[in-house]
DNA sequence: CCGAGCGGCGCC
DNA sequence: AAAGGGCGCCGCTCGG
């Protein structure tokens, strides 16, 4: 077993997590209905304008479609338009990987649409941009119009959250993460580019309260670091996840500089200080840091050079290709040798035991996939197993923190209420207090969120404000 | 008319 | 044939 020592410790808490979830659901959260209505109105006006533009664009194409009847939300009609009428080559890529073109698959999600846009005339590109814009607007309208419907008579929204169980109809997951529904508060947009209407500004502190949001820093990476210490006594990753260190800058320097010997701004990439990789003065270094970060998280989810070959782009926007992708992945393995070591360990473990335990001891059964003898099933089992200990571990750690916070008499005394759990984030409301009381509450929250017994260092960033967006 | 299946997309 | 883990919701499509 990898980490069963804490299994009992966690089992004792899982009951309490159930109570914490119920309390959280009962607390609910406040919603600024006026904000939702105003923004919905604004979005609907933009939606109509975009639809008009699309209609005009369509008429200019001369492909003989009935634009009054055309449905821009229909995948079937979009395929007909772009591929049967406009003869655009089908995109080989989509958001989560490659498209199986030989099987006749067609994708027109945003990633695929961008590929179509970049491989066709400016006229077609304009339509693609309008369509992407329309989808963004409609995505926002969905939340802005439906969220107010969930406000209960007590003035709060009470979403449903829960852990996975065959007999439990509540939302939940195999990794013991929570899910949420009615409404789905875990999926509220946070990326400004994707959400110009700032939906999180509608998640407000009720009168007399303030919101606090506390977020575990790089939670799954910290758990991974712990696992590497437990398994191999390898402390390198843990040392890169302490205050002052920058894992992704380290990786960018080692991979692109030390191993690939790339230069930027006339110097080897590894000659720059870590801080340069976050500096607006060096956008090319920022881009390298972003890329290696994408590789990092891709690897965490089982992605391989095959996938990076098309998902990573060079400066001109072209896919980097298999050869460069392999170089980058191999260089990252050299920079952090415990990664391939972990992958081999997990692969062996899964073949021997037909499953994988999480950090907290939950068992993930993979026997169906392993025992078929099919190499693709086995590869899928390996991908699941690579990630499972971290995702399950994250759920346990945040669950334990929830319990400790809810049980803390000092936090109860100041009236702290848990509103949401977003996998590695806990959101609260607290009565408007004297400043020093708020500081005490924040320190206690931080304490409980960093107390899980790991050999690596948990860190928390915490913010407060009048809306979730401010936090 | 309804439900299943799926494409697309938001979050971590 | 397959090459990125875990979710929930909306809209479209199609068959019963």
A376 touches strand C (CB under 7 A): yes
Instruction: Please state, in angstroms and rounded to a whole number, the distance separating the CA atoms of residues A454 and A235.
Output: 12
Average pLDDT over residues A124-145: 90
- Is the C-beta atom of A112 closer than 7 angstroms to strand B? yes
pLDDT at A340: 94
Checking if the pLDDT of A153 tops 60, the result is yes
Is the shortest CB-to-strand distance from A186 to strand B under 7 Å? yes
Contact flag, residue A184 CB and nucleic strand B, below 7 A? yes
Q: Report the protein residue whose CA lies nearest the C1' of nucleotide B11.
A: A187
Query: Helix H segments across A147-239?
Result: 219-232, 236-239
Q: Is the dihedral of CA A7, A12, A18, A24 positive or negative?
A: negative
By C-alpha to C1' distance, B12 is nearest to A423
- Over residues A287-310, mean pLDDT: 90
Nucleotides of C under 7 A from a protein CB: 1-14
Q: Stretch A299-321: mean pLDDT, rounded?
A: 86
Half-sphere exposure of A75 (CA within 13 A, CB side): 7
| Contacting residues for A58 by C-beta, under 8 A, at least 6 apart | A65, A67, A70, A81, A127
In the predicted model, is pLDDT for residue A226 greater than 90? yes
Residue A72 has pLDDT above 80, yes or no: yes
State yes or no: pLDDT of A446 exceeds 90: yes
Does strand C come within 7 Å of the CB of A384?
yes
Is the model's pLDDT at A210 over the cut of 90? yes
Predicted confidence (pLDDT) at residue A8 exceeds the cutoff of 60: no
* pLDDT at res. A442: 96
Q: Evaluate if the CB of A110 falls below 7 Å from strand C.
A: no
**Average pLDDT for residues A191-196, to the nearest whole number?**
82
The whole-number average pLDDT for the span A403-426 is 93
What is the secondary structure of A102-135 as a DSSP string? GGT----SHHHHHHHHHTS-HHHHHHHHHHHHHH
Give me the pLDDT at residue A11, please: 58
* Longest Cα separation, chain A: 71
ω into A183 cis (within 30 of 0): yes
pLDDT of residue A3: 39
A457: helix, strand or coil: coil
Q: Is the pLDDT of residue A373 over 90?
A: no
Per-residue confidence (pLDDT) for residue A162, from 0 to 100 = 67
* Three-state secondary structure call for residue A442: helix
The H or E element spanning position A142 is helix A122-146
CA pair distance A283, A384, nearest whole angstrom: 35
CB-CB contact of A245 with A252 (8 Å): no
Under DSSP, is residue A51 helix (H, G, I), strand (E, B) or coil?
A: helix
Q: Residue A4 pLDDT > 60, yes or no?
A: no
Q: Quick one: average pLDDT of A219-244?
A: 95
Distance A73 CA to C16 C1' (A): 25
Alpha carbons A113 and A117: distance in angstroms, whole number: 6
- Residue A396 beta carbon within 7 A of nucleic strand B: no
Which two structure tokens, joined as six digits, stand for A17? Answer: 């997590």
Share of chain A above pLDDT 90, in %: 56
**Mean pLDDT across A424-429:** 94
Mean pLDDT of the region A188-193: 85
A344 burial via Cβ count (<10 Å: 0-12, 13-18, 19+):
exposed
Burial class from Cβ neighbours inside 10 Å (0-12, 13-18, 19+) for residue A393 reads buried
* pLDDT, averaged across chain A: 88
pLDDT for A30 equals: 95
The answer to whether some atom of strand C lies closer than 7 Å to the beta carbon of A65 is no
Provide the CA A201 distance to its chain's centre, in angstroms. 20
Query: A376-400: per-residue pLDDT in tens?
Result: 889 989 998 999 999 889 988 999 9
What is the CA A108 to C1' C9 distance in angstroms? 19
CB A451 within 8 A of CB A401: yes
Residues with Cβ within 8 Å of residue A195, at least 6 apart in sequence: A136, A139, A140, A189
Q: What is the per-residue pLDDT for A172? A: 54
**Residue A267's closest CA among A287, A248, A282?**
A282
- List, in order, residues 6 or more apart from A325 with CB less than 8 Å away: A305, A306, A308, A309, A312
Distance, in Å, from the CA atom of A88 to the CA atom of A415, rounded to the nearest integer, reads 59
Percent of chain A whose predicted confidence (pLDDT) is above 70: 94
The H or E element that residue A16 is part of is helix A7-27
- Work out if A189's Cβ lies within 7 angstroms of strand C: no
The pLDDT of residue A5 is 40
Average pLDDT rounded to a whole number, residues A186-193: 85
- A175-184 pLDDT tens trace: 778 878 788 8
- C-alpha radius of gyration, chain A, whole number: 24
pLDDT digits (tens, 9 = 90+) for A77-120: 898 899 888 999 888 888 878 888 877 788 898 888 988 998 88
Average pLDDT (A244-268) is 95
Model confidence band, residue A13 (pLDDT cutoffs 50, 70, 90): low
pLDDT at A279 over 50: yes
The 10s digit of each residue's pLDDT in A314-363 is 877 788 899 999 999 999 999 999 999 999 999 999 999 999 998 888 88
Q: Measured CA to C1', what is the nucleotide nearest A423?
A: B12
């Amino acid at each position: 077993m990898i980490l069963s020592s804490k299994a009992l410790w966690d089992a004792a808490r899982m009951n309490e997590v159930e109570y914490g979830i119920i309390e959280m659901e009962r607390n609910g959260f406040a919603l600024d209905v006026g904000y939702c209505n105003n923004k919905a109105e604004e979005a609907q006006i933009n939606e109509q304008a975009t639809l008009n533009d699309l209609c005009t664009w369509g008429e200019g194409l001369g492909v003989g479609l009935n634009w009054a009847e055309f449905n821009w939300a229909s995948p079937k009609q979009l395929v007909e338009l772009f591929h049967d009428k406009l003869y655009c080559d089908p995109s080989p890529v989509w958001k989560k990987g490659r498209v199986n073109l030989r099987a006749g698959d067609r994708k027109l999600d945003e990633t695929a649409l961008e590929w179509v846009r970049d491989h066709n005339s400016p006229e077609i590109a304009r339509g693609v941009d309008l369509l992407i814009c329309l989808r963004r607007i409609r995505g926002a309208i969905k939340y802005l119009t439906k969220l107010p419907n969930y406000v209960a008579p007590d003035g709060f929204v009470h979403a449903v959250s829960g852990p996975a169980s065959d007999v439990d109809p509540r939302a939940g997951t195999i990794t013991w993460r929570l899910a949420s529904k009615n409404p789905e508060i875990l999926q509220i947009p946070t990326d400004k580019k994707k959400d110009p209407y700032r939906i999180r500004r509608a998640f407000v502190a009720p009168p007399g309260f303030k919101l606090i949001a506390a977020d575990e820093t790089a939670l799954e990476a910290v758990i991974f670091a712990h696992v590497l210490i437990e398994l191999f006594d390898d402390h390198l990753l843990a040392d890169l996840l302490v205050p002052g260190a920058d894992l992704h800058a380290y990786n960018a320097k080692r991979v692109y500089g030390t191993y690939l010997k790339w230069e930027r701004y006339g110097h080897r990439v590894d000659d720059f200080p870590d801080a340069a990789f976050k500096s607006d003065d060096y956008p090319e270094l920022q881009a390298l840091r972003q890329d290696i970060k994408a590789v990092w998280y891709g690897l965490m989810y089982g992605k391989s050079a095959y996938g990076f070959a098309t998902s990573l782009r060079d400066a001109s926007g072209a896919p980097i290709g298999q050869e460069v992708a392999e170089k980058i992945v191999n260089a990252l393995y050299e920079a952090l040798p415990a990664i391939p070591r972990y992958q081999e360990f997990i692969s062996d473990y899964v073949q021997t035991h037909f499953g994988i335990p999480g950090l907290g001891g939950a068992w993930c059964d993979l026997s169906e996939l392993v025992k078929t003898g099919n190499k693709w099933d086995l590869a899928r089992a390996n991908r699941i197993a690579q990630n499972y200990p971290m995702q399950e571990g994250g759920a346990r750690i945040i669950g334990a923190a929830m319990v400790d916070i809810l049980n803390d008499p000092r936090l109860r005394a100041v009236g702290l209420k848990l509103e949401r759990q977003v996998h590695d984030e806990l959101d609260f409301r607290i009565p408007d207090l004297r400043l020093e009381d708020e500081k005490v509450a924040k320190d206690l929250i931080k304490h409980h969120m960093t107390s899980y017994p790991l050999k690596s260092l948990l860190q928390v960033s915490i913010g407060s404000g009048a809306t979730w967006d401010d936090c």
